[in-house]
Amino acid sequence: MLQVSGVSLQFGSRKLFEDVNIKFTKGNCYGIIGANGAGKSTFLKILSGELEPQKGEVILDKNERMSVLKQDQNAYNDETVVRTVMLGHKRLVDIMDEKDALYAKEDFSDEDGIRAADLENEFAELGGWDAESDAEKLLSALNIPTEHFEMKMGELDGKEKVKVLLAQALFGNPDVLLLDEPTNNLDIKTTQWLEDFLMDFENTIIIVSHNRYFLNKVCTYICDVDFGKINVYFGNYDFWYRTSQLIARQQKEQNKKAEQRAKELQDFIARFSANASKSKQATARKKELEKLTINDIKVSSRKYPYINFKYDREIGNDILFVENLTKEGYFENISFTVGRDDKIGIIGKNSKAISVLYDVLMGKETADGGYFKWGKTITPTYLPSDNDEYFSGCDLSLVDWLSRYSYDHYEEFVRGWLARMLFSGEESQKKASVISGGEKVRCMLAKMMLEAGNFMIMDEPTNHLDLESITALNDGLSAFKGCMLLTSHDRELMNTVCNRIIEIDGTKIYDRPVDYDTYLEETMNRQ
């Protein structure tokens, strides 16, 4: 068991954590959430011992081992891939190295023999005889080619290094596993494998992630970093979010009786009690949920942007017709027709090809062959994956920047829209050229809402966004009544928004009126 007792950490005048007390128990997966800058990754560093708290302590039971997902991709460049994985259990590798050094001695003494015997016993107890094969199994499961096992880490590309470091963290069945954004740069197949691995993992897992589908799938508890505290709640991310939103609404409605509020919460809990992320925890989760009261979950201090897409012009029968559209080097003879209720997920191995397709449809690029036609009633609006052209070299304030896209140029009106997107007060006077990646996306979303298009094209809209903004965007896109083309690595977004999937692969197209999860199942069956 891992225990945090009275931990406090302060940077200057800012209290990041104050008197944090948590027991992390075996068999559970804890998702660490919080606004940007709340201290999620810092908390993991405290747990791992990389950072010392100013007060309190972190206690790991004697003889238990902690494993941490390393972030430095170049830390093991001189090691082989297999050895890098095995270094996840450093004591095991130390024993191996010491044994090899002893057996290599020319003047092997009786004392050396006794020491070697002790090492062999410990080696066997730690599963050393199966260590190399276990490491290779992990690498194979993560789709690292066999011929790369004995290569140096420095010879691998970045995506392969990420997978090897993940294998290192998982190696040797650690008692406590710390993972900071483990799904970054993983393909969907590898992410699914990791989900299954963690759901079957019987020890303690602590995760920081912006991947909501992943958090919902593997977490049995949510640790909310807020108010300088860390509150622990039973359930996955969706349960925490929906319940916290419900309670926030209830607190605004002061005329509601406490009994009514409690009943509403209990009804809500009952609907979620079957959504166990780890099958082994299903019964325990249901019992825990049945015990929850209205006071168990506190209203969060973090802010969510207001995202609500509406359009003025009704959609006619003709929306978008694409026939044999070709752009050399990207796609050939692509054909599809968009229907009135279509929210289409566009996917493919070549993300650049999809971006070029969107640029062609929006008139930013010219096709080499074929044609497309927008319906007369359609007003498309576009969020490109790379939006730097809208901000680079722009010295306008955000108020003036957004005013260019607004039907009402009154400053207070524009300020109101910026406030909805969390640019209040002096924030609205920032120069457009200096804002962060996440702030750029929020500005682009405000622009799209003001444009009031009835057809949206979204190319990786969650890039650079924090968990709160992603959640708000998901809700906004789900509620949108118009048509849409959407591309995203966020599985939860794709699955909850899209009702049709089009996969583009060069000259081939796979078009099915299904949600994203169904598409993935069908894809697995095709392989």
- 26-46 confidence digits (pLDDT tens): 999 999 998 777 889 899 999
Residue 69, sorted as left (phi over 0), alpha (psi -120 to 50) or beta, turns out to be beta
Instruction: Write down the pLDDT at residue 271.
Output: 60
Judged on CB neighbours under 10 Å (0-12, 13-18, 19+), 13 is: exposed
Is the Cβ–Cβ distance between 492 and 474 less than 8 Å? yes
Instruction: Write down the pLDDT at residue 488.
Output: 94
* 150 three-state secondary structure: coil
Q: How confident is the model at residue 286 (pLDDT cuts 50, 70, 90)?
A: low
What is the DSSP-derived secondary structure letter of residue 434? G
Per cent of the chain over pLDDT 70 is: 90
Two tokens, residue 163: 């997978």
What angle is formed at CA 256 by the lines to CA 253 and CA 261, rounded to 5 degrees?
100
> For 290-344, what is the HEC assignment?
HHCCCCCCCCCCCCCCCCCCCCCCCCCCCCEEEEEEEECCCEEEEEEEECCCCEE
pLDDT over 70 (residue 255): no
What is the DSSP-derived secondary structure letter of residue 431? B
Q: What is the mean pLDDT of residues 344-354?
A: 93
Q: How confident is the model at residue 269 (pLDDT cuts 50, 70, 90)?
A: low
Residues 200-238: pLDDT tens digits? 999 999 999 989 999 999 999 999 988 788 989 888 898
CA distances from 446 to 33, 349, 385, 404, 421 (A): 25, 30, 16, 12, 7
Q: Which CATH architecture has domain 320-526?
A: 3-Layer(aba) Sandwich (3.40)
Q: How confident is the model at residue 386 (pLDDT cuts 50, 70, 90)?
A: very high
Q: What is the DSSP string of 77-146?
A: TTSBHHHHHHTTSHHHHHHHHHHHHHHT-TT--HHHHHHHHHHHHHHHHTTGGGHHHHHHHHHHHTT--G
Distance, in Å, from the CA atom of 505 to the CA atom of 424, rounded to the nearest integer, reads: 44
The average confidence (pLDDT) of the chain is 88
Those residues with Cβ within 8 angstroms of residue 449's Cβ, 6 or more apart along the chain or in another chain: 307, 308, 309, 310, 417
What is the DSSP-derived secondary structure letter of residue 515? -
* 71 three-state secondary structure: coil
Predicted TM-score (pTM) of this structure: 0.81
Judged on CB neighbours under 10 Å (0-12, 13-18, 19+), 76 is: buried
pLDDT over 90 (residue 177): yes
* 256 three-state secondary structure: coil
> Which of 524, 521, 502 has the alpha carbon at shortest distance from 513?
502
Is the Cβ–Cβ distance between 441 and 461 less than 8 Å? yes
Q: How confident is the model at residue 15 (pLDDT cuts 50, 70, 90)?
A: confident
Instruction: Write down the pLDDT at residue 10.
Output: 87
Residues of the chain with CATH 3.40.50.300: 320-526
Query: Which residues share a beta bridge with 346?
Result: 502
Residues 142-169: pLDDT tens digits? 999 999 999 999 999 888 999 999 999 9
Instruction: Write down the pLDDT at residue 298.
Output: 65
What is the DSSP-derived secondary structure letter of residue 420? H
Please compute Rg for the chain using Cα positions.
26
